A and B are shown apart, each in its own frame.
Chain A
Amino acid sequence: MTQLVDTRTPDPKKFIKGATGDWEMVLGLEVHAQVTSESKLFSGSSTEFGQPPNNNVSFVDAAMPGMLPVINEECVRQAVRTGLGLKAQINKRSLFDRKNYFYPDLPQGYQISQFKDPIVGEGKIYLDMGEDGEVEIGVERLHLEQDAGKSIHDQHPNMSFVDLNRSGVALMEIVSKPDLRSADEAKAYINKLRTILRYLGTCDGNMEQGSMRADINVSVRRPGGEFGTRCEIKNVNSVRFAGQAIEYEARRQIDILEDGGTIDQQTRLFDPKLGETRSMRSKEEAHDYRYFPDPDLLPLEFDDAFIEALAKDLPELPDEKRARFITEFGLSSYDASVLVADRESSAYYEAVADGRDGKLAANWVINELFGRLNKEGLNVTDSPISAEQLGGIVELISKGDISGKIAKDVFEIVWTEGGIPAEIVESRGMKQVTDTGAIEKVVDEIIAANPDQVEKAKQNPKLMGWFVGQVMKASQGKANPQAVNEILKAKLGL
């Protein structure tokens, strides 16, 4: 087994207070990501989700006698793409092994996996931890393996049913190094990994459908000390639960250690209803999987050209895109991170920003559009306002045709009624008045009608705001605020 190496400097902000002093948690994740592919890893059956039970089952998936696995090359390509996306070492020769254990939803009596020689070796994932800056998390390996079927226990009082639709579906198990030091980092890691997989199109990342699940290794130690004994929390299927499970488990371990106890190496399950983890099996009860190379399969081998062809067609990944957004559009690091969080959002943003003011476009996409979409529970792909329409609004603001305030009205109209922003502004007379003559006329009228206020304003220049308000009101908000300010200043002699 690989030697565990501590790559992090203890950070007091992440320490957990205990009765006897500070503690630090050490986390490592094994994420199982379902490979996006038409058919299963070793059979031609469909991988389509939501089919009736046992609809997607071939003789191979049901482990009929004499059936043999044949590797699905697309799954291999997907694993290599993912490896490239994780800046990882791609192993041109890897082996499939059998992991032997008995369970009714494992028809072969073994899972075909990769044990000693995985298809992808060491890589890294960068997390943007806000004010803590960027954190590099090591990836130990990625390997391909078969998913098991599903046991259904609630259909009969004393019998269980088995659905083999998932049996043999390709999974990538992505194993991190023990580099994570807080629940927030673990959550950020899962989110970032999901973002990368979605950009690559190698996993849809739908945790609620089981396309991504995490096994979380948790241990605690005195800050910077020796690694402690770990417990593994199995099959966590949401980012929120991951956070809860880690917090609970770290506290549980600290309590035991502070009471003078020791941690038993265990496999544990998180119960989201009770918000706690509980023991599934101890180290002594752990299976002996009797791994050995699967004699039905040849070593998986490919050449550099195979890797290069995949590398050439790799999409721009979130880290690169984020860096480009910062330099190309002058965005803040935060805004850039928000926009690259998923491929659809970044594509939408780029369409809005294309040939326009990138910063202004980012403000509108993040604050107005995402805010509204969130409120309505919609995805960016379901947005009633197209990137072209929102771009039109941004353009009108940039040109000074409408103020930010009017723009919000235009946004509302486009959201509910649709239409081309420039035409809406034109036909509804929403265009900003920049004609200084017209503004001067209004200013003159208001000054003439309010001599008292004029006197007061001369004493207290802050009162100019009142005049601005009056002018805007009189112009129904269409007067260019900058022009109004300048004219008022001159007329009031401020």
Chain B
Amino acid sequence: MTTDLTRLSLADTAKGLKAKDFTSKEVTASYLLAIEKAEALNAFVAVTADQALDMAAQSDVKLQKGEGGALEGVPLGIKDLFATKGVHTQAASHILDGFKPEYESTVTQNLWDDGAVMLGKLNMDEFAMGSSNETSYYGPVINPWRAEGSNADLVPGGSSGGSAAAVAGWLCAGATATDTGGSIRQPAAFTGTVGIKPTYGRASRWGTVAFASSLDQAGPIARTVEDAAIMTTSICGFDPKDSTSVDMAVPDFAAAVERGVKGLTIGVPKEYSMDGMPAEIEKLWQQGLAWLKAEGAIIKDISLPHTKYALPAYYIVAPAEASSNLARFDGVKYGLRVPGKDITDMYELTRAEGFGDEVQRRVMIGTYVLSAGYYDAYYVQAQKVRTLIKRDFENVFSDGVDAILTPATPSAAFGVADQEMKSDPIKMYLNDIFTVTVNMAGLPGIAVPAGKDGQGLPLGLQLIGKPFDEETLFAAARVIEKSHGLDFTPTKWW
């Protein structure tokens, strides 16, 4: 083999397989080898090599006959939050020790139905709670990127840090991820990859371990906008098993990628220009606007006045739902059980040992804000804020804005075990400052690499779209992707 098959985009991999340039078994074997050599990244919590090769063999039979789905034979990584039948599914938590579900999540089933091959389960922040992938029971994921001239480990972002690192480090052709407050877009921005959170209700939540049900949404992390579009098409679809799933046809998103932005109105919200925002982020944002303008977009200053309340409100709503969603992990039915002298003691010991610090912190915050006497002051108030945030967006969209451009994150990837972040959880929570509004409003949002900081680390821009208008996001993201002229390939050190 002369070319490294792991370096192909997902689109090219699918094309090459269909053209019989190589087999799925070959691609799969290449990825399995790459994973084996990339232990330093700690991106996978379980590698399903035998299963992957079996699936690849089945795909090859179909491909040989000129059959197969859009992702036939393409090897993917799956975030540990998705239930995969008979395979490690623990949300990277100790409390789900040994849990292997008897069911397959709708999102992953959709991918397998389209022919994709599963390489294994990807590391993540425990129960998707975190912005650095350091809360995983399986240890932190290391970003394939390093600052120029430095050997220091950087975080890949979170919670889908394993997904982002695996995609950036050529350990899979694409990965599933989930986004509750920025968990797809922030790690994508930190790793120079493309990540999209579709509109709430686009992808089924059935079989995905719940963090905050009203905010959680599955999506892909991929190397290119086109790859992300192909995966999004496969992942999404109405699911009667999820009451919040929306019964709407899913377009072929890949067909929208080259649509361009001519005549589109791109909104620039003044509230996203935060005090103390690094100049390079500001510069990147202006650069992005210039690229879009150059391709025929109309740039419009807009206001989303309730933006500043989004993060505090998010950190009430998400923990509130989480505190209830995580109640089922009690040592009674599955996963870890630490015996106690009575049932209450068993609950307490199991949950104290099974949940990490960040999960415990959020369960406690959530329990507190839902308590009698505090519910109205916190939860009800946060829901009102949520309605106002949603209305902010509705107003600008009804004023003719087609999409909104913002930075994806306030900075590039930071160091593993960053002391400042560690000592002050709020600092960590600020990573989501540009992304949470999108979840609160249930809108689609995409992060696309757009530039690099002074140390050569990737920086991303975010595009926010109208409900169910992911197509415009892919088109606009593609314009940025074509404009930056940069190579978002980390230098291999592992």
Binding site for B on A (CB under 8 A): 59, 62-71, 98, 100, 102, 104, 107-110, 160, 162, 288, 290-292, 295-298
Inter-subunit contact B103/A59 (CB<8 Å) = yes
What mask results when residues 185 to 223 of chain B are scored 1 for a CB within 8 Å of chain A, else 0?
A: 000000000000000000001111110111000000000
On whether A66 and B328 interact (CB within 8 A), knowing A71-B243, A295-B213, A297-B243, the answer reads: no
Q: Contacts of A98 on B, CB cut-off 8 Å?
A: 324
Q: Judge whether B22 is part of the interface by a CB distance below 8 angstroms.
A: no
On whether A64 and B244 interact (CB within 8 A), knowing A109-B324, A109-B328, A296-B213, the answer reads: no
Q: Judge whether B377 is part of the interface by a CB distance below 8 angstroms.
A: no
What mask results when residues 96 to 118 of chain B are scored 1 for a CB within 8 Å of chain A, else 0?
A: 10010111010000000000000
What mask results when residues 40 to 67 of chain B are scored 1 for a CB within 8 Å of chain A, else 0?
A: 0000000000000000000000000000
Minimum CB–CB distance from B369 to chain A (whole Å) comes to: 9
Q: Judge whether B160 is part of the interface by a CB distance below 8 angstroms.
A: no
Closest chain B residue to A151, Cβ basis: B343
Q: Contacts of A67 on B, CB cut-off 8 Å?
A: 206-207
Binding site for A on B (CB under 8 A): 82-83, 89, 91, 96, 99, 101-103, 105, 205-210, 212-214, 240-244, 320-321, 323-324, 326-330, 332-334, 343-344, 347, 367, 370-372, 375, 379
Inter-subunit contact A66/B367 (CB<8 Å) = no
Taking A67-B206, A110-B324, A297-B244 as known contacts, 6 extra A-B pairs with beta carbons closer than 8 A to each other, sorted by chain A number, are A62-B333, A66-B105, A104-B332, A107-B332, A108-B328, A288-B372
One of A66, A107, A108, A295 near B83 (C-beta < 8 A): A66
One of A65, A100, A102 near B99 (C-beta < 8 A): A65
Closest chain A residue to B351, Cβ basis: A102
Closest chain B residue to A59, Cβ basis: B103
Q: How far is B370's CA from A123's CA once the two chains are assembled, in angstroms?
A: 31
Q: Contacts of B102 on A, CB cut-off 8 Å?
A: 59, 64
Q: Contacts of B89 on A, CB cut-off 8 Å?
A: 65
Can you spell out 14 A-B residue pairs with CB atoms less than 8 angstroms apart? A62-B333, A64-B83, A65-B89, A66-B83, A66-B103, A68-B206, A70-B242, A71-B243, A102-B347, A104-B343, A109-B327, A110-B324, A288-B372, A291-B370
Q: How far is B343's CA from A67's CA once the two chains are assembled, in angstroms?
A: 24
Q: How far is B89's CA from A449's CA once the two chains are assembled, in angstroms?
A: 105
Q: Contacts of B91 on A, CB cut-off 8 Å?
A: 65
Q: Contacts of A70 on B, CB cut-off 8 Å?
A: 240-243
Inter-subunit contact B327/A64 (CB<8 Å) = no
Q: Contacts of A108 on B, CB cut-off 8 Å?
A: 327-328
One of A68, A160, A162 near B243 (C-beta < 8 A): A68
Inter-subunit contact A295/B214 (CB<8 Å) = yes
Inter-subunit contact B209/A109 (CB<8 Å) = no
Inter-subunit contact B371/A288 (CB<8 Å) = yes
Inter-subunit contact A63/B343 (CB<8 Å) = no
On whether A65 and B209 interact (CB within 8 A), knowing A107-B332, A292-B375, the answer reads: yes
Closest chain A residue to B102, Cβ basis: A59
Inter-subunit contact B327/A66 (CB<8 Å) = no
Inter-subunit contact B243/A100 (CB<8 Å) = no
Task: Give the top 9 A-B pairs by smallest Cβ distance, nearest first.
Answer: A109-B327, A290-B370, A295-B213, A295-B214, A63-B328, A66-B207, A65-B209, A66-B83, A288-B372
Q: Contacts of A71 on B, CB cut-off 8 Å?
A: 243
Inter-subunit contact A298/B244 (CB<8 Å) = yes
Inter-subunit contact B367/A65 (CB<8 Å) = no
On whether A66 and B324 interact (CB within 8 A), knowing A59-B103, A298-B243, the answer reads: no
B interface majority secondary structure: loop
Q: Contacts of A63 on B, CB cut-off 8 Å?
A: 328, 333
Q: Contacts of B330 on A, CB cut-off 8 Å?
A: 102, 104, 109
Inter-subunit contact A65/B83 (CB<8 Å) = yes
Q: How far is B324's CA from A70's CA once the two chains are assembled, in angstroms?
A: 18
Q: Contacts of A160 on B, CB cut-off 8 Å?
A: 343
Q: Contacts of A162 on B, CB cut-off 8 Å?
A: 332
Q: How far is B95's CA from A109's CA once the two chains are assembled, in angstroms?
A: 15
Closest chain A residue to B320, Cβ basis: A292
Q: How far is B213's CA from A64's CA once the two chains are assembled, in angstroms?
A: 15
Closest chain A residue to B383, Cβ basis: A293
On whether A292 and B370 interact (CB within 8 A), knowing A65-B101, A66-B105, the answer reads: yes
Closest chain B residue to A99, Cβ basis: B324
Closest chain A residue to B331, Cβ basis: A104
Closest chain B residue to A105, Cβ basis: B332
Q: How far is B210's CA from A319's CA once the two chains are assembled, in angstroms?
A: 49
Q: Contacts of A292 on B, CB cut-off 8 Å?
A: 320-321, 324, 370, 375, 379
Minimum CB–CB distance from B363 to chain A (whole Å) comes to: 11
Inter-subunit contact B375/A107 (CB<8 Å) = no
Minimum CB–CB distance from A63 to chain B (whole Å) comes to: 4
Q: Contacts of A68 on B, CB cut-off 8 Å?
A: 205-206, 241-243
Q: Contacts of B210 on A, CB cut-off 8 Å?
A: 65-66, 296
Q: Contacts of A109 on B, CB cut-off 8 Å?
A: 324, 326-328, 330
Q: Contacts of A102 on B, CB cut-off 8 Å?
A: 327, 330, 344, 347
Q: Contacts of A288 on B, CB cut-off 8 Å?
A: 371-372
Minimum CB–CB distance from B327 to chain A (whole Å) comes to: 2
Inter-subunit contact B332/A65 (CB<8 Å) = no
One of B206, B207, B324 near A100 (C-beta < 8 A): B324
Q: How far is B326's CA from A100's CA once the two chains are assembled, in angstroms?
A: 11
Q: How far is B320's CA from A46's CA once the two chains are assembled, in angstroms?
A: 32
Q: Contacts of B329 on A, CB cut-off 8 Å?
A: 65
Q: Contacts of B208 on A, CB cut-off 8 Å?
A: 66
Q: How far is B330's CA from A162's CA once the two chains are assembled, in angstroms?
A: 14
Q: How far is B370's CA from A109's CA once the two chains are assembled, in angstroms?
A: 15
Inter-subunit contact A296/B243 (CB<8 Å) = yes
Minimum CB–CB distance from B218 to chain A (whole Å) comes to: 11
Inter-subunit contact A64/B347 (CB<8 Å) = no
> A65, A66, A68: which has the most chain B beta carbons within 10 Å?
A65
> A67, A107, A291: which has the most chain B beta carbons within 10 Å?
A67
Q: Contacts of A110 on B, CB cut-off 8 Å?
A: 324, 327
Q: How far is B101's CA from A59's CA once the two chains are assembled, in angstroms?
A: 10
Closest chain B residue to A70, Cβ basis: B243
Inter-subunit contact A64/B101 (CB<8 Å) = yes
> A107, A290, A296: which has the most chain B beta carbons within 10 Å?
A290
Inter-subunit contact A290/B371 (CB<8 Å) = yes
Q: Contacts of B214 on A, CB cut-off 8 Å?
A: 295
Minimum CB–CB distance from A152 to chain B (whole Å) comes to: 14
Closest chain B residue to A71, Cβ basis: B243
Closest chain A residue to B326, Cβ basis: A109
Inter-subunit contact B328/A65 (CB<8 Å) = yes
Q: How far is B342's CA from A160's CA once the two chains are assembled, in angstroms?
A: 10
Q: How far is B214's CA from A401's CA once the two chains are assembled, in angstroms?
A: 77
One of B206, B321, B332, B375 near A66 (C-beta < 8 A): B206
Q: Contacts of A290 on B, CB cut-off 8 Å?
A: 323-324, 367, 370-372, 375
Q: Contacts of B323 on A, CB cut-off 8 Å?
A: 100, 290
Q: How far is B100's CA from A66's CA once the two chains are assembled, in angstroms?
A: 12
Q: How far is B241's CA from A69's CA once the two chains are assembled, in angstroms?
A: 8
Q: Contacts of B347 on A, CB cut-off 8 Å?
A: 102
Q: How far is B342's CA from A102's CA once the two chains are assembled, in angstroms?
A: 13
Minimum CB–CB distance from A419 to chain B (whole Å) comes to: 57
Q: How far is B333's CA from A295's CA once the two chains are assembled, in angstroms?
A: 23
Closest chain A residue to B215, Cβ basis: A295
Q: Contacts of B241 on A, CB cut-off 8 Å?
A: 68, 70
Q: Contacts of A62 on B, CB cut-off 8 Å?
A: 333
Q: Contacts of B371 on A, CB cut-off 8 Å?
A: 288, 290
> A67, A108, A295, A298: which has the most chain B beta carbons within 10 Å?
A295
Q: How far is B106's CA from A66's CA once the two chains are assembled, in angstroms?
A: 10
On whether A100 and B370 interact (CB within 8 A), knowing A59-B102, A68-B242, the answer reads: yes
Minimum CB–CB distance from B203 to chain A (whole Å) comes to: 13
Minimum CB–CB distance from A153 to chain B (whole Å) comes to: 11
Minimum CB–CB distance from B367 to chain A (whole Å) comes to: 7
Q: How far is B375's CA from A50's CA once the two chains are assembled, in angstroms?
A: 41
Minimum CB–CB distance from A382 to chain B (whole Å) comes to: 43
Q: Contacts of B101 on A, CB cut-off 8 Å?
A: 64-66
One of B82, B103, B324, B375 near A64 (C-beta < 8 A): B103
> A59, A98, A109, A297: which has the most chain B beta carbons within 10 Å?
A109
Closest chain A residue to B321, Cβ basis: A295
